[in-house]
Structure 1
Amino acid sequence: MSIICNIKQLESQSLSFKGLITAKELDLENIDICVHLNTPVEHNFIAKKASNTIRLLGRLRFELDCECVHCLKPFKIVMDWADWECIVPLQGEMLSPIINDCVDLTPYVREDILLAFPQHPLCEPGCNKLPFEEGKDPRADLEKKALDSVWDQLDKLNL
């Protein structure tokens, strides 16, 4: 279900929007292989008309299910924007389409959420772990590779 704002009603009063919107409704499913929006976005904001724009003020809250890009450990990031603000243009290049005196606010909510997705999610700051098989020491492979270095191969040549 989209978040629709009636412009005619907005001219006489502020409008309040409160509810939940899913990743599917926001078209945010399978956007990133390491970041997923699996729970609905909670929104609670008011819309005010200001000259040629609609100003949205309020709160967005959502939870991102992430996978660390280094160690592949799953973790969550909770985003709680208590002072969320967005400007929806009604004129100019970035004009929002007006259909039957209504503007769809969903793309603006979607854009702000998408911009919040971490580009390289890490389970903890500075995580430099690499995934490895249970019970196997990852350093064992490094030691073996060190023995089979290029210089060792050159020493084996009979010149």
Structure 2
Amino acid sequence: MSKYRHASTRPTATGPWVIDTRELGRRAGSSRPVKRSVPAEGVGLEGVIAVPEGGEIELDLLTESVVEGVLVTGSAKTTVTGECSRCLEPLSDEVEVVLTELYAYPDSTTDETTDEDEVSRIVDDLIDLEPVVRDAIVLALPQVPLCTPDCQGLCSECGGRRAELGPNHGHETIDPRWAALQERLSGDNNEEN
């Protein structure tokens, strides 16, 4: 179960992230598969790496009625885009997370003995998957996305991508203490010509 929670909100039966548990029933052992695509624009780390505009998350889940509530297991998969944190090139990646989350029935022992942020709850026979899926995807994303693990980044002098500049790229730097001498010597060379 995810240790990160959003405050409980009352889900609506029509939302794409919501599962109605009335079809499942409360008999322990009954189960139903849930497969759907849900809109997920902006899920991720905004400005770093996230689901792009118009993006979706593919949910492939199994809901199982258990004594204390409904156990949701399965996976969520999506494509995220962003830019490399070293060379600033655009990047795209597939992210898939495995989910296992218990949604407690109202007035169950689990509901009564846990804090609101410790376990998810079923509200009006509805399960809101969005907070759990969002948390799982955000936690699976790299905090420092890279186009390749060995990305060399940008040249600090000219700003070019080191991968394109080649291994012999460099900039001549002169110790400022010797700069006046170099100017004088280059001035003498110009006078001789």
**TM-score, shorter chain, exceeding 0.5:** yes
Following TM superposition, the consecutive aligned residue runs of length 4 or more in structure 1 with deviations greater than 6 angstroms are 153-156
SS across alignment from 2:120: coil
Q: Residue 10 of structure 1 contacts residue 48 of structure 1 at CA under 8 Å; is this kept in 2?
A: no
Taking a change above 3 Å as real, the CA distance of residues 54 and 155 of structure 1, as seen in their structure-2 partners, is farther
Match in the other structure for 1:32: 46
Contact 2:154 2:160 (C-alpha < 8 Å) held by counterparts: no
Asked whether the equivalents of residues 61 and 80 of structure 1 are also in contact (C-alpha less than 8 Å), the reply is yes
In structure 1, distance between residues paired with 2:99 and 2:43: 20
1:63 paired to 2:79: yes
Counterpart check, 1:75 vs 2:91: yes
Larger radius of gyration: 2
Per-residue CA deviation, residues 13-56 of structure 1 (Å, 9 max, x unaligned), is 213221111124xx627x32121202211111111133335322
Question: Separation in 1 of the partners of 2:25 and 2:73?
Answer: 14
Gaps of 5+ in 1: none
Offset, 1:104: 1.2
2:108 alignment partner in structure 1: none
- Superposition TM-score, scaled by structure 2 size: 0.62
- One-letter code aligned to 2:65: K
Name the stretch that deviates more: 14-23 or 115-124.
Answer: 14-23
Q: Is the 8 Å Cα contact of residues 35 and 117 (structure 1) preserved in structure 2?
A: yes
Structure 1 residue 85: Cα displacement: 2.9
Cα separation, 2, equivalents of 1:50 and 1:150: 74
Aligned to 1:54: 70
Cα distance, 1:103 vs structure 2: 2.3
> RMSD between aligned alpha carbons?
3.0
Are residues 22 and 71 of structure 1, via their aligned partners in 2, closer, same or farther at CA, if it must alter by over 3 Å? same
Q: Percent identity?
A: 21
CA–CA separation in structure 2 for the residues paired with 1:117 and 1:54: 27
Count residues with an aligned counterpart. 145
CA–CA separation in structure 2 for the residues paired with 1:110 and 1:88: 16
Pair 1:95 & 2:110 matched: no
More strand by share: 1
Alignment match, 1:118 = 142
- The Cα offsets for residues 96-154 of structure 1, whole Å up to 9 and x where unpaired, read as 243212221221111111111111011111212216359xx7956x42xx21x343379
